[in-house]
Structure 1
Amino acid sequence: MTESPVLRLRGAAFTHPGGSGVSGLELDVSPGDAVALIGPNGAGKSTLLNGVLGLVPLTEGSMQIAGSGEHARNGMIGFLPQSTELDPDFPISLEQVVMQGRYRRLGLFRWPGRADRAAVRAALDAVGLGELAKRPFGELSGGQRQRGLLARALAAQPRLLLLDEPFNGLDQPNRDALIATIRTLKAQGVAVLVSTHDLELARVVCDRVVLVNGTQLAFGPVDDVLTLGNVQECFEGVEVEIDEHTLVVPGHEGH
């Protein structure tokens, strides 16, 4: 029997107080399912992710998280943002950064216990950084810091993981490690929604794709959605190339 979606949007719109946003959202993200969220700069990808987190208001339609309404988001969602306010010069270890992912479970007045420390170790091992746990966060490479922040999101043991352009600026080894981590999470039943401008990534690691440009344009299996016509409509005004295997949007930087 197919499991119920972890995230379900029906006719949903998320709108900032200034009026910008994204609308017409009709999609499901199920356990073990990775969905790529693709669109040009300013298309509403980050708005959608922040809407799921409750940081941008739901102004139309409905959202269900794990079948229990939007309030079920607490403790169930891990998030890797595009950027972090964490100062790499701040004297804190990688392990301490990852422990931050347990704070919602800990509350204000409880020290980390055995289960919290085990969750941190498991999260670091999942991203291939277990041996660097005691290393100062600022001494890590950019790609390692990105993977460390992913481990922070995983330490909460989420059922739904939101990734906002996680591959920006990564070299090939860190990119490969992140892809391997996403595959492992899928196998463990975690639902993943990943915003990306990397169409090849969508083909490699995702099951379905949602195209957005202010509104949802398409949603479905990767091969059905990532057609030349659909991508040209989504990236209007940008030259799109296609060969037998790959769609290319030259010069696009995701935001």
Structure 2
Amino acid sequence: MNDSPVLRLRGAAFTHPGGTGVSGLDLDIAPGEAVALIGPNGAGKSTLLKGVLGLVPRTAGTIEFGARTSDAGAGPSHAANGMVGFLPQSADLDPDFPISVEQVVMQGRYRGLGLLRWPGRADRAAVRDALETVGLAELAKRPFGELSGGQRQRGLLARALASDPGLLLLDEPFNGLDQPNRDALVETLRALKARGVAVLVSTHDLDLARRVCDSVVFVNRTQLASGPVDDVLTLGNVQECFEGVEVEIDEHTLVVPGHEGH
């Protein structure tokens, strides 16, 4: 397997026009590697993911996809060319809209189709493969709005996978899922890693980070720590990142005390 990074950030900062953002980012993600992006709400996790997609301006540092690098101030990244799949925190699909699961997943192919071109055999095969990967192949013809919340989340993941991305960005994908759907999503991510897909997943669930991910990046408006899960997922780093806020550990929600309490 090629170990050259799929994504590399060096001194990167992504800043909204209003001035909020996240900075000091140094990150490498190799093919088949899953990295947990951990921090409290408002820490800049979503901003980082949207920055990688070119949806939030990069105001410092460099970003590299494969062999292509761009400096701060350059135009939007070429992440939108199909290399990167994205599962947002909340979807813009109306569950009452009359569209099938299969049609939702096919939306992931539209970016590569161009104008006036109908989906072909390869597109339909990609949709079938994506649905099989997330365990929804038998529900392909069902109206999307009839799925449970967890099944809809998996359907939207299939939409992100349909473009055959080398890098998958997931923004708090486990929020609101029951245990069976959480387990199904974990197994899906493990299967994607085995296929060589790189994964960057934002979460505040430390147990899920341990179950799925190889490396961890702690952020709270800036990068605080990064490295292998066993080395970096420590009480000290959790205290620094989550001081005074809630965090999920082994399916329990705790308020992390500050350093002065220890």
Q: TM-score range by the shorter chain?
A: over 0.9
Per the normalisation by structure 1, the TM-score is 0.94
Alignment of 1:1-40 (within 5 A): 3-40=3-40
CA distance in 2, matches of 1:146, 1:80: 9
CA distance in 1, matches of 2:139, 2:251: 37
Per the normalisation by structure 2, the TM-score is 0.91
Moved more, 97-106 or 65-74: 65-74
| C-alpha displacement of 1:75 | 0.8
Out of 78, 101, 104, the residue aligned to residue 111 of structure 2 is 104
| C-alpha displacement of 1:236 | 1.9
CA distance in 2, matches of 1:23, 1:240: 22
Q: Who is 2:63 aligned against?
A: 63
CA distance in 2, matches of 1:99, 1:248: 37
Match of 2:254, SS state, is: coil
CA distance in 1, matches of 2:138, 2:126: 15
Match of 2:68, SS state, is: coil
CA distance in 2, matches of 1:128, 1:205: 18
Q: Who is 2:259 aligned against?
A: none
Amino acid at match of 2:39: G
Moved more, 231-240 or 153-162: 231-240
Match of 1:148, SS state, is: helix
Out of 132, 143, 156, the residue aligned to residue 149 of structure 1 is 156
| C-alpha displacement of 1:107 | 1.2
Out of 206, 209, 214, the residue aligned to residue 213 of structure 2 is 206
CA distance in 2, matches of 1:224, 1:57: 32
Q: How many residues align?
A: 249
Establish whether residue 54 from structure 1 lines up as the match of residue 73 from structure 2: no
Moved over 4 A (4+): 239-242, 246-249
Match of 1:210, SS state, is: strand
Q: Who is 1:179 aligned against?
A: 186
| C-alpha displacement of 1:249 | 5.4
Amino acid at match of 2:219: V
CA distance in 1, matches of 2:221, 2:172: 18
Amino acid at match of 2:169: L
| C-alpha displacement of 1:3 | 1.7
RMSD: 1.8
Q: Is the 8 A contact 1:240 1:247 kept in 2?
A: no
Amino acid at match of 1:15: T
| C-alpha displacement of 1:179 | 0.3
